[in-house]
A = this chain, B = another copy of it.
Amino acid sequence: MRKSIITLLTDFGIKDHYVASLKGVILGINPHCTLVDISHQVSPQDIREGAFILANTYSFFPRGTIHLSVVDPEVGSSRKPILIVTKDYFFVGPDNGLFTLAAPREQVSQVVALTNKKFFLPSVSATFHGRDLFAPVAGHLSLGVKPGAFGSELDSWMELNFGKAKIKEKGLVGEILHIDGFGNLISNIRKQEFSDFTGDQPFVIKVGTRTIHGLKRRYSDGSRNELIALFGSGGFLEISVREGSAQKILKAKRGDPIQISTKFRAPNPK
């Protein structure tokens, strides 16, 4: 028995019938596959947020997993429906940048435009390709249909420009990429960039009007209400508050800058 896993990531929310319709369609094609929700709470039409969430979790799934991701503000327009095949995974969804942070980290072997109507629902609505096109393609893929059968190969797919941390005069400057449900502020500053920049010099981290000295290892290392910085489980620099929300304390939003500086006045030891 082929036991395939299909994950689902969408901005459909969990109140309406949309997600269940995708699942019904898939199970109608392959009743033996295992469906796993990644998230359906991506902010409506927020491709970047979807890309971030997918990138943080897709690689924890076993080889062969099909990642079906639908954040699709241009549904029904000329944006292409695609399948990206990598060494270990399949990514199915709209070609709008949703796979920017995940696919390039894998060895991409094939990109296919989904055009073969044989693998769609008999009637494809203009408004719900998740159900009528992407879900059935994922279902057939999980049965072992070869990627090439779904359409013709493409030379490229769309990548979005996610800001990278940069070294400027005032220091290493990154930005907040994501704010999680605990209110932790996750930046785009990776551990390696950080160490390369700071070396063994002392440093401060500036975010909003606040300055943080040094790094902690664990969320519980701070005292209550203390703003701390640490490297989170995704390998990015995070700002956090023990048993509180850094987002609320700093009134931070996505895109806000985070700055690492090795030139600063040392705090006055009391």
Which A residues form the contact surface with B (CB < 8 A)?
3, 5, 7, 12-18, 20-21, 23-25, 27-28, 31-32, 34-42, 44-45, 53-54, 56-58, 60-62, 65, 73-77, 125-128, 131-132, 180-182, 217-221, 230, 232-233, 242-243
A to B CB contacts below 8 Å, 6 in the list: A5-B27, A13-B181, A14-B37, A17-B53, A20-B37, A20-B38
Q: How far is the CB of A26 from chain B (nearest CB, A)?
A: 10
Check A61 against B220 for contact (C-beta < 8 Å): no
A180-B16, A181-B13 known; A219-B24 Cβ under 8 A: no
Q: How far is the CA of A169 from the CA of B34 in the complex (A)?
A: 53
Check B233 against A127 for contact (C-beta < 8 Å): yes
Q: How far is the CA of A41 from the CA of B35 in the complex (A)?
A: 20
Task: From B15, B27, B38, B73, give the contact of A36 (CB < 8 A).
Answer: B27
What's the dominant secondary structure at chain A's contact region?
A: loop
Q: How far is the CB of A54 from chain B (nearest CB, A)?
A: 8
Check B16 against A181 for contact (C-beta < 8 Å): yes
Q: How far is the CA of A263 from the CA of B47 in the complex (A)?
A: 42
Q: How far is the CB of A229 from chain B (nearest CB, A)?
A: 12
A243 CB contacts on chain B under 8 angstroms = 44-45, 73
A24-B62, A60-B25, A76-B218 known; A16-B39 Cβ under 8 A: yes
A17-B38, A44-B182 known; A131-B60 Cβ under 8 A: yes
Check B125 against A233 for contact (C-beta < 8 Å): yes
Q: How far is the CA of A182 from the CA of B44 in the complex (A)?
A: 7
